[in-house]
Structure formats: C-alpha cells, structure tokens
Amino acid sequence: MIRVLVVDDESLARSRLKTLLGDCSQPGAQVAGEAANAVQAVDFLQHHAVDAVLADIHMPGADGLMLAQALRQLPQPPAIVFVTAYAEHAVQAFELEALDYLTKPVRLERLQAALQKIERAMQQVPGMSTDAVEEVLVIQERGRAERVPLVQVLYLKAELKYITVRTASRSYLLEGSLSELETRYASRFMRIHRNALVARRAVRALEKHHDPEEGEGWAVRLDGVDEALFVSRRQLAAVRALVSAA
C-alpha cells in the first residue's frame, strides 16, 4: 500500500480524494493523514513517514508550490502530486520535481495512473526516495502539460522562437533556450550546429551532405528518424569523434 498525505484547504475536496484513493487498486493507497494547509502538512511529516503527498496548489498562506519546496529539504522527501483546478502552474510544478499533476475534478483512472507512477519511482532504487524519477521536458500543448522523457528525445532544434523536440513517434514545440538545454543536459545531448542538439546515444552515422542553405558539408543520421541533420564545421571534429567511439 502507498501511504498518502492529502493536503487541501477544502474539506469536501479532501473527502472526495480520500474516497477515490479508497477505490484505487494495483497499487492500493492508504490515507496516512490529511492537512488543510502547508504548515499542517510539514508538521505531520515531521512525525510520520509517507510515500506521497497529494496537494492542492491554491491554499491560504503557504501554497502547494511552497510546500513542494519544503518537502525537497527533507532527508527522504515523499513524491509530490499536485491536485488542482488550475493548469497554469504545471511547468513550475514539474520544475519542483512533481511526479504528476492532476486537474479537478479528478477521475479515478487518472488518480490510479498517478499511483502507478509513484509505485514505479519507489521501486527504481531500493532505499532511494520517491523523487528519483526520470528526467523529462514539460511541453505545454493545447491547454495541457505533457511530460516527454528525455530518453525518448532524438534531437532539439531551434526554429524562430520555439524549439522542435523530436522523438521517434512525433514532434513537439517547446518555448525555451537551446543553450540552456545544452548546459542542463550536456551528458545526454551534443551540439552539432548553432541551432541543433542531438542525443548522443542516437547518433548512427556521419555522411557527406548538401544543404540548400549551408551548401556542401556533413550531416548526422540518427536512429529513429529518416532526416539528416547538418553539422557545422565548428562541431565536425566532435561529432566525428563521437561516431568513431560508438
């Protein structure tokens, strides 16, 4: 059973969530306690161990985002799942390593999926806390936030004010800085051009290539996509070394 602390300033919301948790199975959930605000939640966690906290964001005083920051300071922080009527805080929530983000009214199957994520995180490494989860990019798309695991991303390409995030199955648009992503995920991606990063693990071949804008040069082929990505002269030596070492 997954031990859960329910945090919401509305008693009816807490009651509904506890009822839904009681209806969940595989894995099941045990409500270890409830709190009406962040202060009560922190006080409870100082005396009780739980596996996950289901918390509202908009609460009087310290809100759910501040609670998530406080949880990160604990020696063994529980997983945090936000349960809220508002979607605009999704990106900030995932930056705080939230495991999931549920919008009200919560559906049973959606809550069940969140519990399964918690269970997988708990089983990843024995003895590790439940915030040890895979790295993801949070994509805002048509009013919803989608988590795209970095292990699925083949390349990142800057185009106008957006970054194209390409996986084997589809493309996404992400607002952000390519340089910031390069710095943050240097172990996963390498720069091949001023406008492109590729997943190191996906590089398959380096070949001669003619680009309409760049002219004659070299391009990389990646596992999972058909297109060739042009390599700048400045990055050619590093890409060639990566291919040779593969």
Q: What percent of the chain stands above pLDDT 90?
A: 48
Q: What per-residue confidence (pLDDT) applies to 130?
A: 36
Residue 210 one-letter amino acid: H
Top-confidence residue, 18 or 1: 18
- Residue 67 · residue 41 · CB < 8 Å: yes
Per-residue pLDDT tens over the stretch 5-24: 999 999 999 999 999 999 99
Question: CA angle, corner 51, sides to 138 and 102, nearest 5?
Answer: 35
Q: Cα 30 to chain center, whole Å?
A: 25
- DSSP-assigned beta bridge partners for residue 198: 155, 190
Does 125 have pLDDT greater than 50? no
Q: What per-residue confidence (pLDDT) applies to 235?
A: 92
52 token code pair: 């996950």
- Residue 164 · residue 117 · CB < 8 Å: no
Per-residue pLDDT tens over the stretch 53-69: 999 988 888 888 889 88
What value does the mean pLDDT take over residues 190-209?
A: 94
Top-confidence residue, 183 or 202: 202
pTM of the complete model beyond 0.75: no
Domains of the chain: residue spans and CATH: 2-130 (3.40.50.2300), 148-245 (2.40.50.1020)
- DSSP-assigned beta bridge partners for residue 139: 146
Q: Which residue has the tokens 């939640």?
A: 41
- Residue 118 · residue 52 · CB < 8 Å: yes
